[in-house]
Amino acid sequence: MNGLREMNFSHKYKETRKYRKYHQDNKLVDEILAFFSAHDESTYKICDLARETNVDANVLSKWRNKFKKDPEYRPGGRIGYHRRRFTDVQERAISDMLRIQYVFPGIIVRRKQLRNIFFEVWKSFDLEVRGKLTKNFFSNKFVSNFCKRNDFSFRQMRKKKRSEIDEADVARYSKEFLEVFTSYPWYLILNMDETAWNFVYANGQVLERIRILIR
């Protein structure tokens, strides 16, 4: 029983509340999974491992059994899946559709409209059981979780958003003005005012993508 001696655990679970979320301690989970991968279960006892890591023995046993069946298993990786209606592949397809058809062209999408879009998409995926689910399934909580997983957010609309001034454009514009004033007589030069454009919605939040900066 020398498996534990060969690996020193630098992390131990710290209990912060009654409901223990062991899976949220990523560094400890990494060490435990690495231990399972490197050692045969006959070389150590779960109770000893529980004492070293401060993780419940029943939880460790469950993790080990699932890890043996699936080397890609990670504790907590499927939390919330029972609330999901679409698979990962379907969600990626829906996200791409939302970006291409709505976000990029600047078409306004509110939460209620997004819920309707989800319902229509779901009906196209599950034709045989389309009558077994109502629109209420796609709640605002469902919308919020979908946005977090797929880099969307709802942001407040703004009436004006100034862009940065490009000095090269200013220089080119001034040069064109000078050429016009020196090439044509004054009576052929007409002045035109800017035309105001109003938003359809003056207030409220709309769907937008989260811009991730890559450094």
Closest CA to 2 of 33, 48, 34, 37: 48
Closest CA to 65 of 56, 80, 75: 75
| Residue range 89-117, pLDDT digits in tens | 888 999 999 999 999 988 889 999 999 99
| Residue range 62-77, pLDDT digits in tens | 999 988 888 888 887 6
Contacts for 2 with CB less than 8 Å, ≥ 6 apart: 43
Find the helix packing angle between 26-38 and 57-69, rounded to 10°.
60
> Can you tell me the mean pLDDT for 15-42?
83
Helix residue spans in 13-56 (DSSP H): 26-38, 46-53
**The model scores a pTM over 0.75:** no
CA distance 152 to 144: 9
Domain residue limits, the chain: 4-69, 82-159+204-209
